[in-house]
Amino acid sequence: MKENLFLLAVIVFFPMLAAAASYLAGRKDRILRDRLVGACSIAEFLLVLTLLLLYRTDRASLDIPGICGMGLHFQTDGFRALYGTIAAFMWMMTSLFSAEYFAHYRNRNRYYLFWLVTLGATMGIFFSADLYTTFIFFEVMSFASYVWVAQDEKQDSLRAASTYLAVAVIGGLVMLMGLFLLFRQAGTLKIDDLYEACRGKNVFAACVCLFFGFAAKAGAFPLHIWLPKAHPVAPAPASALLSGILTKTGIFGILVISCKILLRDVRWGTFVLVIGTLTMVAGAVLAFFSVDFKRTLACSSVSQIGFILVGVGMQGISAGSASAVRGTLLHMVNHSLFKLVLFLVAGVIYMNVHKLNLNEIRGFGRNKPLLAAAYLSGALGIGGMPLFSGYISKTLLHESIVEYTQELREGTAAAGLFGVSDMKIIEWLFLISGGLTVAYMCKLFFAVFVEKNNDPKLQEQYDAMGGRYMNRLSCAALLIPAALFPAFGVLAHAVMDRIADLGQGFLGLSVSGHPIAYFSRNNLKGAGISILIGIACYLVIGRGWMMGKKDGQTVYRNRWPAVLDLEDYVYRPILLGALPTVCAGVCMVLDHMVDFLAKILPIAGSVEAGFFDTISDSVVVFLRKTIYRDSPQAHEPEEGNIVTNTLGQIANRVVALLNLTVWRTNPRRRDYKHRFALAYDSFKENTGMIGRSLSYGLILFCLGLCGTLVYLLYVLLH
């Protein structure tokens, strides 16, 4: 059944209307605003839950023509309704927790405004029926959630927010280029029609561009740089949503590419599997090295996204393995809920002590059984402990690798780029990454809930809190989702299998395949290997090499080499240093070429040879008066700098000496100090203007256009 459903529009746009209402209410009454935000999140959850119950097996759609040219198109099915429900549930729980967490924050009105706008945009993504609608709401979500990261307005927060925004903008531009290429080849962007429209056509380049944009939001390596920087500075409820839901919007896009365009494409599956394996390992290693509670969870998100991408890749190379499909879907669901609980635990710690470094929060969780129980539920779940939900999804993912390896041995698998030995390496990397997950979760648990703080007075303060470290509403927001993990793990066939049944159709699986004996000897053996690896890593490396002595006391040390920071040592030097310098040089060359052409071209009549200079100067003056307007607080700098002044003085003295001797009859009257200063100011102005946003946008557009033209020429010639 397929019908037009107005409820989809309500689900998408109701939070955006409520955002405006909450902002206006907050200007008059803060308590009213908080209640309005909480009521909105609860209402949104009930709306999406109703949609899930009504359309878990059926499909419905809604078209809104005339908006943004191509109109907006929405659709619901089992997968979309399932993930919309999870997103609404997480927003509801974080809203309940936020009432206490933000009690002493500034700019709460602004935060809640963009918090609700992001909710509506996220729903727009999950329920989008075409990639054009996906792109529009993806950009709205990215810009609205920027405010979450910058909420504190501290230097670290603003720097992390700039990184987040840069990744979002660059990813969005590359994604837009992918949409242009895809639409040219397929003639449509409607998700359900893409597979048939793209059959036999070269859409690989378009899919790579789309993957770049979606992977940037998902946090896939090497585009993961925003997660370790944004999460430690963002408020904890925002971090829970950034990690648990906003990364899944990126995974949603990757699933569209992998399951709706390049379904069961071995080349594509290999590409995603490689990226997923690198992401899985890199995130686990970064998390294990971290000594900040929230940064550890952020890097953990990178690793868990890698696990999900491994499942997506396995779907491609194994002809749609049921274990890979169901494991991917269930690990998406699990990771969202895990990070909801774990980041709220971090929020409880931060709102009490305003610190997150393990050496400073050490011992905070002692004698706090509810907080310890919530953390352990999330930690055991994400670590893949049997009888917890994470064990089910990781078992399915591991099973897909084992099954494909066995098919390679028997010669029944489709021809691919990986052999048996390659798959064994991937399997061991999978198990080691799972072991590192256990290791860093143990590290956090023992630091916060078992060990005592090195400062006895600080430990006394922590112990004296008793049960006054969070109110009942925050406690409910923390314990309700935490109780789901053991329940889902114990009732795996009754609950987890049904969740997988809901969403597997979107991923291209119509038949569930053979039933999995989750607690068989072989599956328990795989989980046991990971757990033993994790315990060994924690005891040998975590308690040994990563610990040190300071003033006679044991402390946690950050052993990660600073030079391995991709943002500070690769991306920023290239984008803020090398690229502006190169572009400044190109502009200078072009400027000289214009001067040269102006001199040699026979320009007659009323047009003089300085025509080009006049136009160029007019454009520069216009930009300086509008887009590049100087700050009213800025002061004019002195002419030149110490180098130009020194060289100018030396040149002037040399010229003065020559005027008294060699050039007595024809002395030179030039001020080289001034000339050198003008040359320096010209170079500085060119370099500075290149580094501004408009120029960067034009440069990126130019690069994208050149790439598009090269690709089109290649298609036409072949």
What confidence score (pLDDT) does residue 226 get? 83
Say how far apart CA 118 and CA 129 lie, in whole Å. 19
Whose CA is closest to 37, among 119, 118, 140, 116? Answer: 116
How would you label 309-339 residue by residue, b for 16+ Cβ within 10 Å and e otherwise?
bbbbbbbbbbebbbbbbbbbbbbbbbbbbbb
Quote the pLDDT of residue 634: 41
Q: Is the same domain home to 191 and 319?
A: yes
Does 187 lie in the same domain as 130? no
Ramachandran quadrant class, 575 (left: phi over 0; alpha: psi -120 to 50; beta: rest): alpha
Q: Assess contact for 442 and 542: CB atoms under 8 A.
A: yes
Cβ neighbour number for residue 699 with a 10 Å cutoff: 16
- Position 4 scores a pLDDT of 55
Residue 607, both tokens: 């047009």
Instruction: Annotate 138-193 with three-state secondary structure.
Output: HHHHHHHHHHHHCCCCCHHHHHHHHHHHHHHHHHHHHHHHHHHHHHHHHCCCEHHH
Distance CA 268, CA 39 (A): 44
Task: Report, in this order, helix, strand and coil percent for the chain, each rounded to 5.
Answer: 75, 5, 25
What domain range is 425 assigned to? 150-556
CB 340 within 8 A of CB 94: yes
pLDDT value at residue 609: 46
Q: Among 95, 114, 149, which residue terminates a domain?
A: 149
Asked if residue 120 and residue 159 are part of one domain, the reply reads no
Q: Are residues 162 and 304 in the same domain?
A: yes
- Residue in the block written with tokens 């501290």: 154
Total count of residues recorded for the chain = 718
In a domain, 562, yes or no: no
Our CA angle for 285, 289, 293, nearest 5°, is 110
- In a domain? residue 697: no
Integer Cα distance of 573 and 579 in angstroms: 8
Angle between helices 108-126 and 78-101 (to 10 degrees): 170
Measured CA distances, 274 to 163, 351, 674 (Å): 25, 40, 57
Q: Mention every residue, 6+ apart, whose C-beta is less than 8 A from residue 100.
A: 351, 470, 471, 473, 474
> Does 232 map to a domain?
yes
Q: What is the pLDDT of residue 253?
A: 93
Determine the Cα–Cα distance for residues 440 and 546; give it in Å rounded to an integer.
Answer: 12
Q: At 44, which amino acid appears?
A: E
pLDDT in tens, 76-129: 888 999 999 999 999 999 999 988 888 877 788 888 888 999 999 999 999 999
- What is the bridge-based pairing of β-strands 59-64 and 2-4? parallel
> In the chain, how many domains are there?
3
Instruction: Output the pTM of the full model.
Output: 0.81
Query: What is the pLDDT at residue 484?
Result: 93
- The candidate with the shortest Cα–Cα distance to 497, out of 514, 520, 521, is 514
407 found inside a domain: yes
In terms of domains, do 164 and 26 share one? no
Are 62 and 5 in contact by the 8 Å Cβ rule? The answer is yes
Do 161 and 137 lie in a common domain? no
Contacts of residue 82, Cβ cutoff 8 Å, sequence gap at least 6: 52, 56, 333, 499, 502, 503
- Positions in the chain short of pLDDT 70: 1-4, 415-416, 512-514, 590-639, 683-718
Instruction: Identify residue 66 by its one-letter amino acid code.
Output: G
Do 447 and 588 fall into the same domain? no
Instruction: Provide the CA 558 distance to its chain's centre, in angstroms.
Output: 24
Contact (CB, 8 A) for 377 and 345: no
Q: Report d(CA 342, CA 403) in Å as an integer.
A: 33
Q: What is the pLDDT of residues 311-344, one digit of tens each?
A: 999 988 887 788 889 999 999 999 999 999 999 9
- State whether 162 and 89 are in the same domain: no
Q: For residue 162, tell me if it sits in a domain.
A: yes
Indicate if 261 and 384 belong to the same structural domain.
yes
Amino acid identity, position 396: L
CA nearest 265: which of 306, 318, 209, 215? Answer: 318
Q: Kindly state whether residue 299 falls inside one of the protein's structural domains.
A: yes
The enclosing H or E element of 553 equals strand 553-556
Q: Does 232 lie in the same domain as 161?
A: yes
Strands (DSSP E) found in 52-132 = 59-64, 72-76
Q: What is the CA radius of gyration of the chain?
A: 29
Q: Are 423 and 410 contacting, i.e. CB atoms less than 8 angstroms apart?
A: no
Among 556, 591, 612, give the residue marking a domain's end. 556
For residue 393, the model assigns a pLDDT of: 92
The SS3 call for residue 127 is coil
Which helix (H) or strand (E) segment is 2 a member of?
Answer: strand 2-4
Tokens, residue 20: 């405006």
Cβ atoms of residues 249 and 80 within 8 Å? no
Q: Are 118 and 145 in contact (CB under 8 A)?
A: yes
The answer to whether position 20 is within a domain reads yes
CA dihedral (649, 651, 657, 660) positive or negative: negative
pLDDT for residue 147:
86
Burial class (CB in 10 A: 0-12, 13-18, 19+), 483: middle
Indicate the residue type of 366: R
CA 545 to chain centre: 31
Q: Could you tell me if residue 489 is inside a domain?
A: yes
The CA–CA distances, whole Å, from 262 to 313, 507, 682, 718 equal 11, 11, 51, 21
Same domain, 160 and 233: yes
Rounded alpha-carbon distances, angstroms, from residue 14 to 33, 116, 117, 141 = 16, 9, 9, 15
Same domain for 525 and 591: no
CA 325 to chain centre: 23
